Structure 1
Amino acid sequence: MKIVTQVKLIPEADQAAALSATLHAVNGAANWVSGVAFDHGVPREYELRKYTYGELKDRGLGAQAAQHTIKKVCDAYTTLRANMRAGNLGKPGSKRRRKAESKPIAFRPEAAHPFDDRCLSWQYDAQTVSIWTTAGRLKNVRFVCSPDALKTLREHRKGEADLIERDGVFYLVAVCEIPEAAPYEPKRFIGVDLGIANIAITSTGYQAAGRGLNRHRKRQLDLRAKLQAKGTQSAKRRLKNRRRKEARHATNQNHIISKKIVTEAERTSSGIALEDLGGIRQRVRLRKPQRIILHSWAFYQLGQFLEYKARRAGVPLAYVDPAYTSQECADCHHIDKKNRVDQALFICRSYGGVAHADRNASRNIAARGEAAWTAGRESRVPATP
């Protein structure tokens, strides 16, 4: 299983200048390569190398840096084509799709650039790195990270690392190959219902209320609106300093929630059942004030955190169809839209049972997860006559 580990670089002033100049140089070169690729109909990587490699070397890029620049451009166009096929940029002929198709892909001056083991070496005991730059090889560039991250890097780092500059701070994001634990046979399944009023509710009783997070988001939204309306230089500096603050807070909450759920499942030898919420933003129709809440909540991120933490711990994970989980009674399985009285109250119209709506949905998800797990183990081979 591949995960990424991020470390923060603490370069000296001259080292920081060299790192910044390197990122600007390779991303400027990537923009030039992107233009060449666009003009030639985005050829394959080998053909694009014939058009661009010599010029990149003349610009001062090393052999590996030139190869990575070409590959980065090819990967960007591959991603663009995949998004077009998936319809993520709209239908053919739409304004957004025409805009994406009509010009070469552009890279920001501080965009990430990959470094392999020929361009980057790690000294874990000293917590330093040696890295290639356009000004020559930089040695003894210090980095800091948590003890767990350092242990992960020392034991499992494999492959490339990306150099990123964010608000004047440099980071290395390294790929680590983590061995997966063998999944055990679950005694039961824990259903996880994801929502906005309650971020996550499990069938075992754990509840991660969304009130605090939603209040934090509302405060951040109001503060951004106030600063944007003010428009002074100090307000703009304040806006710049607060960028990504809300996203970092939400990411931290998702890590905490997913860790608690996976830990509980591992402790009780249970599996985890999740709703397959792919495409929910396209399917759901809401009023404008509710769209802000829906589109600012990281459904996909929390699901990804649950998935990789479960795989790392060997906890079985099953995705189930979310249809009617909020309208179906977990006891008698009667489905009726009127069963869901309001956001929090569920009253079965068949036998009169009363329950918390999200808790009832999580029990339905748990039952579907167990059924899916059992169906996956059953043999489909016809019996021998």
Structure 2
Amino acid sequence: MDLRGGAPQQHSGKLWLEVAFEKSLRRRNALQEAVYYDLKATFGLSAQPAVRVVKKVVDAYATLAGNLNNGHLTGKARRKAASRPIVFRLDAAQPFDDRCLSWNLDARTVSIWTVAGRIKAVPFLCSRRAMKLLERRKGESDLMMREGAYYLIATIDLPEPAVYEPSDWLGVDLGIVNLATTSDGEIMSGRPVNRYRRRMNRLRAKLQRKATKSAKRRIKAIRRREGRFVTDTNHRISKKLVDTAERTSRGIALEQLKGIRQRVTARKEQRYFLHSWAFAQLGAFVEYKAKRAGVPVVFVDARNTSRQCSECGHIHRTNRVSQAWFACRSCGVVMHADRNGSRNIRCRADAAWQRGAVNRPSTVMVQDAGRIPQPVADRTCKPRASARGS
């Protein structure tokens, strides 16, 4: 929603967005005092839209300051962002509170304020499940444009269910050849996914060689299509994992894969698949779906999960004889490599959960869960053995 309405953005001979930058007005009250009346006079805004415009500018500068302080922008990008005022795109998302946008759930319509006046009875579409969630809507709604269509993003206030005490853990090993392998032995193969992505990659390379305007438009469409495909795949995998854990009263154990792209080396033909798959997105989907269902989630250290024997605990780099198979040099056990890794993840989650027994949160983030616990009744975790020859 463009709040400017085609009017010149002037504030004492300069763009009003520059006021916050040049006068270093980063607080809402200070900026509102400086631009509030000019905003209303220049654009004909009523009181509440003028306040929302000021709030959006303040939030944008707060986000920029956070990115600069956390080192998310470096070099030329940092200097460029810090040396000029923020500029909003015409199709940027616009927040609306209940005074500027009201919902009529029975009629499935909204009433929304614009610079040309309030537009009433605007119909919206959503699923039946989303309609039930909208009954718990609270706070602001964001209007955004994506691929030529308008979307309303609503904030839903849901009560957080109590996290149950897990009877065991469902270890999940993430990968490229097999997207997810559970400690139960279920393998979610990545062959169809990788075949689809190879085809999209070849088509993208073919269009890039043409370099025409229509080819560039097609490349953008392919990128969006592949992004939707990745998101849908991660949704389906995460839903299946959470449903399995909830049905068996278990928790979910995942690898902490932050920085995996910097730690892992791969051949040139494998780098595209390693660096482009959304592992973080899959972990986030599992986390929020599990939180909604009351399923506990633990992230454990991924080091040596593929080299350690889940039977005897022996660690050696030659235990992983191939991508698909694991053969322990100590006890001689042979099993699927990804299942062995998922069983190690399961055991590390048990140790992490026991250490966090006091004031345990719904999700436990573990960075150093390298110790394997002693055997427990009805569990297959083994004590860790020394890494001979490593």
Task: Give the TM-score, by structure 2 length.
Answer: 0.84
Q: Which residue of 2 aligns with 1:46?
A: 29
Cα deviation for residue 138 of structure 1 reads 0.6
The 10-residue stretch of structure 1 (289-298 or 345-354) with the greater mean CA deviation from structure 2: 289-298
Distance 1:32 1:277 in 2: 44
Distance 2:5 2:221 in 1: 22
Question: For the Cα contact (< 8 Å) 1:326–1:361, is it kept in 2?
Answer: yes
Q: Is 1:235 the equivalent of 2:218?
A: no
Q: Using the aligned pairs only, state the percent identity.
A: 56
SS of alignment partner, residue 167 of structure 2: coil
| Aligned counterpart for 1:280 among listed residues 241, 260, 264 | 260
Q: Which residue of 1 aligns with 2:204?
A: 224
CA deviation string 1:20-76 (max 9, x = no partner): x548769x89x9554322222352222122222223222233333222222222222
Alignment of 1:230-379 (within 5 A): 230-377=210-357
SS of alignment partner, residue 118 of structure 2: strand
Q: How many residue pairs align between the two structures?
A: 354
Cα deviation for residue 165 of structure 1 reads 1.2
SS of alignment partner, residue 356 of structure 2: helix
Give the direction of change, closer, same or farther, for the CA distance of 1:327–1:32 in structure 2 (3 Å limit).
Answer: farther
Q: Structure 1: where are the runs of 5+ without partners?
A: 1-18, 380-385
| Aligned counterpart for 2:63 among listed residues 76, 79, 85 | 79
Question: For the Cα contact (< 8 Å) 1:161–1:173, is it kept in 2?
Answer: yes
Q: Which residue of 2 aligns with 1:142?
A: 123
Task: Report which structure shows greater RCO (CA 8 Å, sep ≥6).
Answer: 1
Give the direction of change, closer, same or farther, for the CA distance of 1:69–1:220 in structure 2 (3 Å limit).
Answer: farther
Q: Is 1:151 the equivalent of 2:95?
A: no
| Aligned counterpart for 1:208 among listed residues 181, 188, 201 | 188
Give the direction of change, closer, same or farther, for the CA distance of 1:273–1:22 in structure 2 (3 Å limit).
Answer: same
The 10-residue stretch of structure 1 (343-352 or 35-44) with the greater mean CA deviation from structure 2: 35-44
| Aligned counterpart for 1:110 among listed residues 82, 91, 94 | 91
CA deviation string 1:94-150 (max 9, x = no partner): 233223323223322101010111111111121111011111111010111111111
Give the direction of change, closer, same or farther, for the CA distance of 1:76–1:286 in structure 2 (3 Å limit).
Answer: farther
Q: Which residue of 2 aligns with 1:95?
A: 76
SS of alignment partner, residue 257 of structure 2: coil
Distance 2:90 2:132 in 1: 32
Distance 1:285 1:101 in 2: 35
Which residue identity is paired with 1:41?
S
Give the direction of change, closer, same or farther, for the CA distance of 1:266–1:327 in structure 2 (3 Å limit).
Answer: same
Distance 1:23 1:144 in 2: 28
The 10-residue stretch of structure 1 (131-140 or 333-342) with the greater mean CA deviation from structure 2: 333-342
SS of alignment partner, residue 47 of structure 1: helix
Q: Structure 2: where are the runs of 5+ without partners?
A: 360-390
Bigger helix fraction: 1
Question: For the Cα contact (< 8 Å) 1:344–1:358, is it kept in 2?
Answer: yes
Distance 1:281 1:34 in 2: 39
Q: Which residue of 1 aligns with 2:382?
A: none
Question: For the Cα contact (< 8 Å) 1:192–1:362, is it kept in 2?
Answer: yes
Distance 2:326 2:247 in 1: 30
Cα deviation for residue 254 of structure 1 reads 0.7
Distance 1:157 1:335 in 2: 51
Q: Which residue of 2 aligns with 1:15?
A: none
CA deviation string 1:281-310 (max 9, x = no partner): 344344554332223211111111111111
Cα deviation for residue 249 of structure 1 reads 0.8
Q: Which residue of 1 aligns with 2:370?
A: none
Distance 1:24 1:187 in 2: 59
Which residue identity is paired with 1:256?
R
Which residue identity is paired with 2:184?
T
Give the direction of change, closer, same or farther, for the CA distance of 1:293–1:148 in structure 2 (3 Å limit).
Answer: same
Cα deviation for residue 272 of structure 1 reads 0.7
Cα deviation for residue 267 of structure 1 reads 0.5
Distance 1:207 1:62 in 2: 58
